[in-house]
Amino acid sequence: MNADSITISDLEIMSNANNYRNWMYRQIAPFIGQRVLEIGAGIGNFTELLLDRELVVATDKYGPCIDYLSARLGEQLNAMPIQVDIAELGGRIDQQFIEYGFDTLICLNVLEHVEDDLRALSNMHRALKPGGRLILLVPAFQFLFGTVDRSLEHYRRYTRKTLAPKLTQAGFRIEKTFYMNVIGIAGWFLNNRITKRREESKEQIKFFDQHIAPWAERIERLLPPPIGLSLIAIGIKD
């Protein structure tokens, strides 16, 4: 199984995780504007939550994802999905993004796939209008790096200490950083480091989404965790 098919398979598994996806949306919704560029939209799992915005331009590096996304949501989007590698942004696409006047760039579980992540962050900075926000979600903590990460061609996982300097160097002022999904650490460690799975389990995701995510969100709303499976960072282009 090649990387493209693994990526789509993983995204299809996550497409039914509605409670988790809505939890993630509620975490970042206060920071989302009206003119949105989504980097690494995949098959549109998160894109479909943004359809009420003034403009959403969904992009992905992989052609099969763009085809899937176009067939799934193309008629509901006010701009067709674009195949773009954020690490190689430039030329016509670069100028087109500037002309769109994006006030928000959403990049969820993508930066870990990019070898030169600082270059990608700098390109994201260029794509935003002044005052625009970057909403970034990345996998957290390198000790969790394992077989699923390798299958998905992840280069790394992050912490506040490793991500913040790169955001600053790329030109962003950091507005907020926080972790989410502390309970997910146990399952990820089991699958990646103990049983060494190569794909996420559809059955495990379904169980987590139905029985764990709803109460985990409520607990973390009351007690924000000091660690988590994911790290969210909000950066502003001054």
* pLDDT at residue 202, as a whole number: 84
Pairwise CA distance, residues 128 & 38, whole Å = 11
* pLDDT at residue 4, as a whole number: 53
In sequence order, which ranges of 110-201 are alpha helices (DSSP H)?
117-127, 147-151, 160-169, 184-189
* pLDDT at residue 119, as a whole number: 95
List Cα–Cα distances, 97 to 84, 144, 166, 169, in angstroms: 11, 35, 22, 21
What are the tokens at 173?
């002022």
**Longest CA pairwise span in the chain (Å):** 48
* pLDDT at residue 14, as a whole number: 79
Closest C-alpha to 158, from 148, 145, 171, 169: 145
Torsion of CA 146, 215, 14, 52, to 10 degrees: -130
* pLDDT at residue 79, as a whole number: 87
Tell me how far apart the terminal alpha carbons of the chain are, to the nearest angstrom: 43
**Which domains does the chain show, CATH number per domain?**
3-236 (3.40.50.150)
Does this model's pTM top 0.85? My answer is: yes
Q: What is the pLDDT along the chain (238 residues), one digit of tens a residue?
A: 445 555 677 777 777 889 999 999 999 999 999 999 999 999 999 999 999 999 999 999 999 999 999 999 988 998 889 999 998 876 667 788 889 999 999 999 999 999 999 999 999 999 999 999 999 999 999 999 999 999 889 999 999 999 999 999 999 999 999 999 999 999 999 998 898 887 777 889 999 999 999 999 999 999 999 999 999 999 999 9
